[in-house]
Amino acid sequence: MAFSTITDLDVAAAQKKSNELLARLLSTSSETYVTGPVGQGTGERVLVLGGTGYIGRALVPELAARGYQPVLLTRNAEVKNDAEFASAEVAVGDPTRPGDIARLIEAAPVDVVISLLSGRRPNDAEECRLVDHEAVVNGIKASVAGKVRQFIHISDFGAYRPELIPQVYKLQVEGELIGQHHGPLPWTIIRPTAYYPYLSMTFGDVKNGLKYRIFDHGEYNVVNPIAREDLAEFIVNQVLNADALGRVLPVGGPWSEENVVTLKKAGEMMFEINGRTPDWEVVSMAAWDKKIARLTRLGKISKQLKPVAYYLEAAKYWSVVDHVAPAYGTRTLREFMGKLVDREWPTGSFRERMKNGTNVMPTDV
């Protein structure tokens, strides 16, 4: 990633730009999409790759409720006994092995394939290649061979500025679908903005009395995140929908005060919900840039430090790149945070838990 070094002028200009964008979004109604379920299935089989994760747990019940038969391929045999997936046919297999998806589709034809696949370690370039690219391409090839009627690729809004490894692979998959590199296959690409847990990672820190970190003013970017239930409804609206074929659909949550935020505003929400006065840990972006440069240099000679450099870059990316897309849904970030307030959070900071591998993301709501 090559961010240039930031000056005082850039710092002030970035805040001005974010506040102008916020004001524009809050005074405009987003009419690209009409919220509400569209389309009903009659038992069509929909294979969801990566369907056991955060979005999958909302998508599978939504598919079933809308008359489709969800089918899952997972590496985890326990999913067969999981009540959350009771409506799905569950096959055990690994999408990174080319034959596993193909055999599943050969055994019983599927109408639609939806990919939510994503590696668990975004700083591991090889895992990203294997999951975010190879496994999805395995799904595309099997879909072409099985004459699947539609392939829906859940990409990432960040693919417009692909500076993190998974986004680069998501963009490659987009190109291969659009260019029909693996054979004829009707496709739909969905680019969601951020999900609520990623804007609420440090909720427990704020609840436990710790500070909230911002870069300078904390207003380098604007995000309209989307609730998984709303995204699930949006995805199912595209299933076998002729209007969605050959389309790239960017989508985020409502353009309202409760849902469109800078990172500082997300922090203010956390303090307010927890009944605290805002208490910021202000880090200068100029100092952060120097830290990234130093660790990137050290990462070239130390295997241990390479992932650290990545996390610093990722923290910067999520703090400076706008993720604003047309609105869908009714749920808001504030409502999501409201659901977190009564729970117990482990002591220590989220960042310390990230370092020792015991991080807790609020992905159960």
Ligand X SMILES: NC(=O)c1ccc[n+]([C@@H]2O[C@H](COP(=O)([O-])OP(=O)(O)OC[C@H]3O[C@@H](n4cnc5c(N)ncnc54)[C@H](OP(=O)(O)O)[C@@H]3O)[C@@H](O)[C@H]2O)c1
Q: Can you give the binding site for ligand X, defined by CB under 6 A?
A: 50, 52-56, 74-76, 94-96, 116-120, 127, 131, 135, 154, 156, 166, 192, 194-195, 198
In the bound state with ligand X, the residue whose beta carbon lies nearer, of 6 and 112, is 112
In the bound state with ligand X, the residue whose beta carbon lies nearer, of 18 and 167, is 167
Q: Give yes or no for a contact between 169 and 132, defined as CB atoms under 8 angstroms apart.
A: yes
Q: How far is the CB of 281 from ligand X (least distance, A)?
A: 23
CA 243 to chain centre: 24
Q: How far is the CB of 193 from ligand X (least distance, A)?
A: 7
The SS3 of residue 209 is coil
Q: How far is the CB of 154 from ligand X (least distance, A)?
A: 5
Rounded CA Rg of the chain: 21
Q: Give yes or no for a contact between 62 and 116, defined as CB atoms under 8 angstroms apart.
A: no
Residues in the chain: 365
Q: How many CA atoms lie less than 13 Å away from 1 in the CB half-sphere?
A: 27
In the bound state with ligand X, the residue whose beta carbon lies nearer, of 131 and 140, is 131
Q: How far is the CB of 290 from ligand X (least distance, A)?
A: 28
Tell me how far apart the alpha carbons of residues 269 and 200 are, in angstroms, rounded to a whole number. Answer: 10
In the bound state with ligand X, the residue whose beta carbon lies nearer, of 69 and 74, is 74
Q: How far is the CB of 321 from ligand X (least distance, A)?
A: 12
* Residue 152 bridge partners (DSSP): 114, 188
Q: How far is the CB of 135 from ligand X (least distance, A)?
A: 6
Q: Give yes or no for a contact between 281 and 288, defined as CB atoms under 8 angstroms apart.
A: no
In the bound state with ligand X, the residue whose beta carbon lies nearer, of 192 and 204, is 192
In the bound state with ligand X, the residue whose beta carbon lies nearer, of 6 and 91, is 91
Q: How far is the CB of 129 from ligand X (least distance, A)?
A: 11
Longest dimension (CA), the chain: 61
Q: How far is the CB of 323 from ligand X (least distance, A)?
A: 8
Q: Which residue is nearest to ligand X (CB)?
A: 53
In the bound state with ligand X, the residue whose beta carbon lies nearer, of 6 and 96, is 96
The phi and psi torsions of 121 (rounded to 5 degrees) equal -120, 90
Nearest one of 217, 214, 206, 164 to 323, comparing CA atoms:
164
Q: Give yes or no for a contact between 329 and 226, defined as CB atoms under 8 angstroms apart.
A: yes
In the bound state with ligand X, the residue whose beta carbon lies nearer, of 196 and 216, is 196
Q: Give yes or no for a contact between 71 and 91, defined as CB atoms under 8 angstroms apart.
A: yes
Q: How far is the CB of 310 from ligand X (least distance, A)?
A: 16
Q: Give yes or no for a contact between 73 and 62, defined as CB atoms under 8 angstroms apart.
A: no
**Torsion angle of the four alpha carbons 130, 135, 141, 146, in this order, in degrees rounded to the nearest 10:** 160
Q: 85-99 burial, b if ≥16 CB within 10 A, otherwise e?
A: beebbbbeeebbebe
In the bound state with ligand X, the residue whose beta carbon lies nearer, of 44 and 127, is 127
Tokens of 259: 């849902």
Q: Give yes or no for a contact between 218 and 267, defined as CB atoms under 8 angstroms apart.
A: yes
Tell me how far apart the alpha carbons of residues 52 and 48 are, in angstroms, rounded to a whole number. Answer: 9
